[in-house]
Amino acid sequence: MNMSTISPLKIKIDSNVLNHLGIGLYSNTPAVLTEIVANAWDADAENVFIELGNGEITITDDGHGMDYVALQDKFLTVGYARRNNGESITPKGRQCMGRKGIGKLAMFSLANDVTLYSRRAGDTQHGFKVLVDELATTIERNGEYFPEPKVAPHEIEIQSSGTVIKLEALNKNLTSATESFLRRRIARRFSVIGESHDFKIHVNGTPITLADRGFYPDIQFVWTFGDAEASTLTLCANHVKHHHFDGVTVAGAVVNGFIGSVVVPEQLKKDDDNNNAITLLANGRIFEEDIQKRIDDSKVFNSYLVGELQYDVLDANGQRDIAVSSRQGVQENDPRFQEFMGYIRTRLKNIASDWDEWRRELGSAELVDEFPKLEEWIESLKPNFKKKAKQLINKIYTMRFNGTAAEQKSQKREILKAQILAFEKLKVQDNIEAIESIDIEKNISGFREVMVTVEDIEAAMQMEVIEQRLTVIRKLDQHKEQQVKERVVQDHIYKHLWLVDPSWGYKEKPTEYEMTLTNYLKRICPEAEAGARLDIAYTSTANRFIVLELKKPGLTVGMDALIEQGTKYSRALKQYFHENPASSPFPGGPPMIDIVFIVEKQPVYSNFLADEYDSRMKIMNGSIRTYSDLVNQATRIYEDYIAASHHAGRIKGIVDGL
């Protein structure tokens, strides 16, 4: 061909088409590369080489390539629909993937500099370069854009036939993906990869295989459709359960592929990628990334699923094209798609039923592997209880949990603890009924066995509360040693008043009435620190109120200052109830008020003042406690109980060991 006599290559396209179907249509690198790889398939390429590095991407294929006329009339003509021009089947007999003739615009969203070389066998090599920003400006002015011709000697020489596309000045918002991420995504976007289809895709010299999808080794249960049974089971080498569907829809069309489930959802989330999707393909390429989003079903079960389903009817020649412009989704109102979704919804119900049944079958053994203490508990049960216990464990195994693997294990552990205690409690009730049938004089050992079981479960439940309290005590001791702010220590003691007196309980927050009295105290005694607290929700005796004055750990205080401050609190509260008699729960006068000071160290004073100070403290019902007093007293009370009850801790040991 005499190049001097032919018209230069040009792109004529509407500005809206360029922006909406090219620059603005594709949102990620895999989507763009999918369009380029699909064009290579349609060109009967056997190999596609994708090279990443140095801020550029080069895609090379060994297909039939294009001569100058094909470049202008087909490639650079936006909207050239090859299937409408008798090209539904390639010369090698492949079903053509391209349809709308706009996929070529995808690369304009990924790079500003796009260079293309192509060569048909027996012809000379042709090429051009497009600067996307110049193209956009020219088209916006309704002009014709003429790409920069690439003439010999070429930067890249194609030896026989094929096409090379070089993408430079990349859009950083779209090209941050790693090589491993691209391998996984491209592997999921095509079902025609490999020797059996004579179509290989290489990334940085290494061929992509179906194994690059990354999830096959983790699949535990698998459901196959149509003719995909043998190939899927080979890939899912570690599966333990399988169910096959013929894949035939009501209309007689066939769905091929598989849906699998993993042991825990985290197995589908690796390297910042998420394989929790059921991909829809047609004629070998992706049509929709995840059909689960089309199903109005928020069951946790769905988070365990991965799959690939192929339904070629959606892309049949001679029928309406129902793929959206980016070919990443389907027009859902089409009868073919509705037929497919109706079939899949039905199959997912079957899959959910299988999943629950299979997990129950495997549940006992797998939970025991995860929590070995369960086996000790099961073996401790009598034969008539073991079966029920295993049924309980199986049910817990089938429960669906959210969060990370660690979070899910923590949730399972807490449920197991609660259910074991509940099981033991029910077992106790059965044993209590059995007590009536035991002749104690003739069967002392049988009665002793029943009573030990009662003690076990009661001790387990009591010790749970006690150990929680010991944790609180250790936390207080930590606060004290770290000399933390008074507010931290104050809140800790205020929420756990039993540290001051074991007969007082837990308090989440002050009542509105308490806050009113606290604010009143602060107005009467403005010099009082924020440590003053009034408690009426928990009392050691009826109609008693407690003012807790906490001093910052490390602060030295004197008796005179404490007595003066306590006297002000006492008088202020008596004055309040005198002015508001209806507020007092004690008819005819103010309630009994305790003033409790909590300090780092007991005040030091001379012996000859002891009687005077004791008398003044008694007048206002005052007492002084140190932080160490609280820690030591509470620790002694509860740790002594634990030591005394150690022999009754069989169930507690099992629960703690989960």
What CATH number did the domain enclosing 46 receive? 3.30.565.10
83-106 per-position pLDDT tens digit: 777 788 999 999 998 876 667 777
Between CA 55 and CA 505 the distance in angstroms is 66
Are residues 437 and 507 both part of a single domain? Answer: no
The lowest-confidence range among 288-302, 508-522, 537-551, 582-596 is 537-551
Are residues 262 and 374 both part of a single domain? Answer: no
226-279 per-position pLDDT tens digit: 999 999 999 999 999 999 999 999 999 999 999 999 988 888 987 778 899 999
Closest of 166, 67, 157 to residue 121, by C-alpha: 67
- Per DSSP, the residues of 161-229 read SEEEEEEEEE-TTT----HHHHHHHHHHHBS--BGGGTBEEEETTEE--GGGG--GGGEEEEEEEGGGH
What mean pLDDT do residues 421-450 have?
A: 59
Q: Which residue has the tokens 């059921």?
A: 278
Give the domain-ending residue among 188, 209, 230.
209
Are residues 124 and 146 both part of a single domain? Answer: yes
Cβ-Cβ contacts under 8 Å for 466 (sequence gap 6 or more): 638, 641, 642
Give the domain-ending residue among 339, 355, 371.
355
The answer to whether the CB of 223 falls within 8 A of the CB of 351 is yes
Q: Which residue has the higher pLDDT, 96 or 430?
A: 96
Residue 631 lies in a domain: no
Residue 203 has a pLDDT of 95
The answer to whether the CB of 285 falls within 8 A of the CB of 330 is no
Instruction: Note down the domain range covering 145.
Output: 1-209
Closest of 551, 556, 558 to residue 533, by C-alpha: 551
Residue 532 has a pLDDT of 40
DSSP run (H or E) holding 553: none
Residue 56 has a pLDDT of 92
The lowest-confidence range among 244-253, 370-379, 381-390, 428-437 is 428-437
The lowest-confidence range among 57-61, 106-110, 489-493 is 489-493
Judged against a pLDDT cut of 50, whether residue 53 lies above it is answered with yes
The lowest-confidence range among 24-33, 273-282, 386-395 is 24-33
Are residues 318 and 441 both part of a single domain? Answer: no
Residue 181 lies in a domain: yes
Closest of 275, 324, 290, 286 to residue 31, by C-alpha: 286
124-139 per-position pLDDT tens digit: 999 999 998 998 888 7
Residue 347 lies in a domain: yes
Residue 340 has a pLDDT of 94
Judged against a pLDDT cut of 60, whether residue 461 lies above it is answered with no
% helix / strand / coil in the chain, to the nearest 5?
50, 20, 35
- Burial code (b: 16+ CB inside 10 Å, e: under 16) for 441-462 equals eeeeeebeeeeebbbbbbbbee
The lowest-confidence range among 276-280, 382-386, 454-458, 572-576 is 454-458
Handedness of CA 480, 486, 487, 492 (dihedral sign): positive
Residue 13 lies in a domain: yes
Residue 36 has a pLDDT of 93
Confidence at 296, pLDDT banded by 50, 70, 90: low
Between CA 651 and CA 417 the distance in angstroms is 10
As for how many domains the chain has, the answer is 4
Residue 534 has a pLDDT of 35
Percentage of the chain beyond pLDDT 90 is: 31
Are residues 183 and 330 both part of a single domain? Answer: no
Percentage of the chain beyond pLDDT 70 is: 72
Are residues 365 and 317 both part of a single domain? Answer: no
Judged against a pLDDT cut of 80, whether residue 19 lies above it is answered with no
Confidence at 537, pLDDT banded by 50, 70, 90: very low
What is the pTM for the complete model shown?
0.61
Q: Which residue has the tokens 């408690």?
A: 535
Closest of 221, 228, 611, 655 to residue 423, by C-alpha: 655
Judged against a pLDDT cut of 50, whether residue 546 lies above it is answered with yes
Residue 255 lies in a domain: yes
Residue 189 has a pLDDT of 92
Are residues 338 and 394 both part of a single domain? Answer: no
Are residues 145 and 224 both part of a single domain? Answer: no
Are residues 391 and 432 both part of a single domain? Answer: yes
**Which tokens go with 459?**
């001790």
Are residues 96 and 242 both part of a single domain? Answer: no
The lowest-confidence range among 33-37, 269-273, 422-426 is 422-426
Between CA 219 and CA 276 the distance in angstroms is 12
Count of other CB atoms within 10 angstroms of residue 385: 16
Q: Position 210: which residue type?
A: L
Are residues 46 and 194 both part of a single domain? Answer: yes
Residue 244 lies in a domain: yes
DSSP state of 511: -
- Per DSSP, the residues of 30-57 read HHHHHHHHHHHHHTT-SEEEEEEETTEE
Give the domain-ending residue among 209, 238, 263.
209
Confidence at 469, pLDDT banded by 50, 70, 90: low
596-643 per-position pLDDT tens digit: 888 888 999 888 899 999 999 998 889 898 877 776 766 665 555 555
Are residues 282 and 365 both part of a single domain? Answer: no
Confidence at 206, pLDDT banded by 50, 70, 90: very high
The answer to whether the CB of 275 falls within 8 A of the CB of 325 is no
What mean pLDDT do residues 106-114 have?
A: 87
Judged against a pLDDT cut of 70, whether residue 500 lies above it is answered with no
Residue 401 lies in a domain: yes
**Which tokens go with 235?**
């890939």
Q: Report the chain's mean pLDDT, rounded to a whole number.
A: 79
Judged against a pLDDT cut of 50, whether residue 291 lies above it is answered with yes
Residue 281 lies in a domain: yes
Residue 67 has a pLDDT of 93
Between CA 128 and CA 658 the distance in angstroms is 67
